[in-house]
Amino acid sequence: MSKDATYKSDLQKQLSAYNNRIEQLECEKQQLSGDVQEKAAASERNSRELDELQRRLRDEEDKFQRTKRELENKISDLDFEKSTLHRQKTSLESDLEAANKEIGGLKSAVAELTAAQSSVRAELDATKSRLSGAQDQISSLTSTVADREASISAHARLLKHKRGSTRP
């Protein structure tokens, strides 16, 4: 009996050790099962959060691309406007240069006309002065002619009167 009893005792110890190990593994299983459920829930939350972040990222990338296109269009428009304004500036500068040359020519013409006007005015003043002198001379000569005509007329009457008294 001792052999059987020892064998039985060994089997009972082994069974007890296996049962303890099974309980321990069951505890670990329950703990791991809880951990797996937590990890699965966390994974699900993280997956939803990742999906949301990816959706937001796509939305932001789309928004960025739209904004980028809008800004590129604005830059293109501004470049076109800049080149248009540059051409207008160049044209206006050319017009200004031509106008300045024309103004210079007009100033020269005005200076020449002013000089000519001064010369003509001097000639006119001299002519007026000569005319005034000539009018004074004509007036004086007219007065002298009138005096002489009166004198001739008086002499003619006197002569006539003398001729009439000398005739028999």
- Residue range 49-73, pLDDT digits in tens: 999 999 999 999 999 999 999 999 9
Global pTM value: 0.44
Q: For 70-93, give one letter per residue: b (16+ CB within 10 A) or e.
A: eeeeeeeeeeeeeeeeeeeeeeee
**CA 83 to CA 103: how far, in whole Å?**
30
What pLDDT digit, counting tens, does each position of 123-167 carry? 888 888 988 988 888 888 898 998 888 888 888 888 888 877 665
**How far is it, in rounded angstroms, from Cα 42 to Cα 35?**
10
pLDDT at 79: 95
Using alpha carbons only, how large is the chain's radius of gyration in Å? 68
